[in-house]
Structure formats: C-alpha cells, structure tokens
Amino acid sequence: MYTAISPIQPVTRTRHGERVFRLIFAACFVTVAGAQQPSAPRYAPPPVWPGEGALASQPQDRHVFISPEGDAIIVRSPTDWARAKGKPAIIRYDLHNRLLPTVLAQMSARPGEYTYNYTIGNGRDAKDIIQIWALVVPDAGYRPGQPAPPDSDRLSGSDHWNGAHSHPPIMRQVELPDQPRGRIALWLQDEPGRMISPGRSQTGFRIESSCRPGFTTALFGSGESPNIDQEFPNEIFAQLDSYEDPTWIYVPALTFGPMFCGEMPRAAIVQNMISGIKRSIETGRLKSTSEFARDALARLNVLSAADSTTAPAIASPPSGEFEEEIFTALQLSLSFRTVPR
C-alpha cells in the first residue's frame, strides 16, 4: 500500500538551490475550491519541434519544444551557456510514454455497494511498459488543514499490483475538461516482470465503493521520467513548467469509475454522461452512427431540461463491449432501461 500521492510535481528549487524536474508521485496540497472548477490545463502546450533547419524561425528565448510524435521534449540551450559548459546545444529527452493502453470496466451492484473490475491492456505495437495506472475519482470530503478522511473505496489488485488513494483533489479530468478535478485511485507495480508489457493485459484490478458509476479519466505511465540536466539555466526550467500537466508523461483514456457519492444532484450525473458519450464519439471509441449513442444522448438531453422521475427508456439496445459498459453505467446511476421499438 502507498501513502497520499499526486501524479506530477513540477520543477522546483531545493534548499541548496538545485533545480529538480520531478515527475514522480509525491505529496501535494491544493484548495478544494479549485477542485470544483472545470479541469482545463494550467499551461499551454509547448511548440512542436520544427527541426534544426527551421530553428531560425523560432524566437531565441524559446528553449523547450515537444517532438512531433509527442514522445520527447527537446531542449535548445542558450549558445553561450552550452559553449561554457561544453554541452550539446540541442538535447532530446524521451518521455517513455509510448504506451497503447486499453481499459475494460465491468460494473455491478448490490445493496449499498458497487463493484468495479478492470482489465488493463497494452497494445502490441507499444514501445513502453505500463507500470502505473490511475483513475480520477471524487475528493471524498477532504478539506485542507484537516486529517484525510478514511477511504470509503476499497482498492485491490492482483499479481502484486498494489492500490492506494491520494487525498487532496489534485488531478484534472483530462478526457472530460468540463468536469471537476478529483483525487487519484492508483495502482503501482514494482517488479519489472509483472508490469504490463506490449501485447499483454492484466486483470484483477478492483474497487468496491458506495459511489455510483460515471465517466472518468484513466492515466497510464511507464514509471520512467526524463533525467533533466540539473545545470540548465533558470529560463529553461521556467519553460518546463508545462510538464506539470499529466498528459506529457501519462497517456489518458476514458473509462468508468465510482463518481457519484451520496446525494449527488441528478443534473450533475446527466452532464457527466453527456460529456462522456460525446468524448467517446470524438475519440472514435463510439461510432458517430451508433443508434444506441444517438438514443442515449437524446434521452439525456431531455433529462437535463426537465425534472422527471420516470425511468429513462431507450429503444436502441447497446451493441458491443463499450456500449454495454455505457448502458450499465446509465442503468446503475440513472435507472436507464431499454424498451422495444
């Protein structure tokens, strides 16, 4: 088991003035008021590396770039600094984020409790292993300056994958930017032979919770971080701040998790489901021609505009694994049902 965590901590200065680019899980504190705001990224992404032949088109004070493939950061050092230190003017740092994650969520309910079982895969063409994966979940009542509440969710893993929570709501909903920030439910593997290598999958990730299902963001990482040169000048580290954003190291995916706790307003549940279905169509996980998706969105839009206690009914049943996942979440959280045409 692990202690309170936060996925990414940006470049900081130590007591002795050393610059450290930390891309590890560490304690973090933020305000809960900020957690209720939409999950927009804090920093704009760095510019794409144009190639050495086109560097003259870039401002001289621009030092940090992202590779066109998004798998590396490229640093252009100030000429005088590189010459004085005897170091290359251009340095590439691999982000070790060449993952192809998949996530399957199986949800079920019994009185007072919901169970979430996950299968995590890594595509055959991936170049990096999965050592860490996490879900963004609600903040569970944490308040700054107070002891963290006991976890209501129970996490378990298999094959020596261990799970734990963070307590402050520190992670943005990468896949659902209109939804509030949350804390992290995390699984981590320390043994290389048990990590999820390309072409393999792992079952046995489980959450038992009193909270109903909704769309959320899963994040996947290799556990490796770039070994940034600690002697870089301040202006370079200032531009590395954008790597506080989780999407540079962790690969996001849309899935389901325990999202609606207690007396959650139905309007908030409806908006989560609308956002998730629309995002699934944007990413291609749901076909834009799906009759199920069309009917579900139409019914959700009706619910968002009216205060009805009638169980929502749709005429187009789900087809395929992911549509079945969506319908299960709609059943458990909004009492959806299907009816004959």
- What's the Cα-to-Cα distance from 247 to each of 7, 41, 98, 251, 292, rounded to whole Å? 11, 9, 12, 6, 30
280-290 pLDDT, tens digit each: 999 999 999 99
β-sheet bridge partners, residue 154: 208
Q: Which residue has the tokens 């959806």?
A: 336
pLDDT value, residue 253: 95
Residue 136: exposed, middle, or buried by beta-carbon count in 10 A (0-12, 13-18, 19+)? Answer: buried
pLDDT value, residue 43: 73
Q: How far is CA 19 from the centre of its chain?
A: 27
Q: Give pTM, 2 decimals.
A: 0.85
- For the chain, which residues make up each domain, given as ranges? 1-41+99-235+246-262, 265-341
308-315: long-range contacts, CB 8 A cutoff, minimum separation 24: 311/335, 311/336, 311/337, 312/336, 312/337, 313/337, 313/338, 313/339, 314/338, 314/339, 315/339, 315/340, 315/341
* Each residue's pLDDT expressed in tens, for the chain with a length of 341 residues: 323 333 333 333 332 233 333 333 333 323 333 334 456 677 777 899 999 989 888 999 999 999 999 999 999 999 999 999 999 999 999 999 999 999 999 999 999 899 999 999 999 999 999 999 999 998 765 555 555 555 468 899 888 898 887 766 578 899 998 888 888 899 999 999 999 999 999 999 999 999 999 999 999 999 998 888 999 999 999 898 877 777 788 999 999 999 999 888 899 999 999 999 999 999 999 999 999 999 999 999 988 777 666 678 899 999 999 999 999 999 999 999 988 76
pLDDT value, residue 168: 66
Distance of alpha carbon 205 from alpha carbon 137, whole angstroms:
15
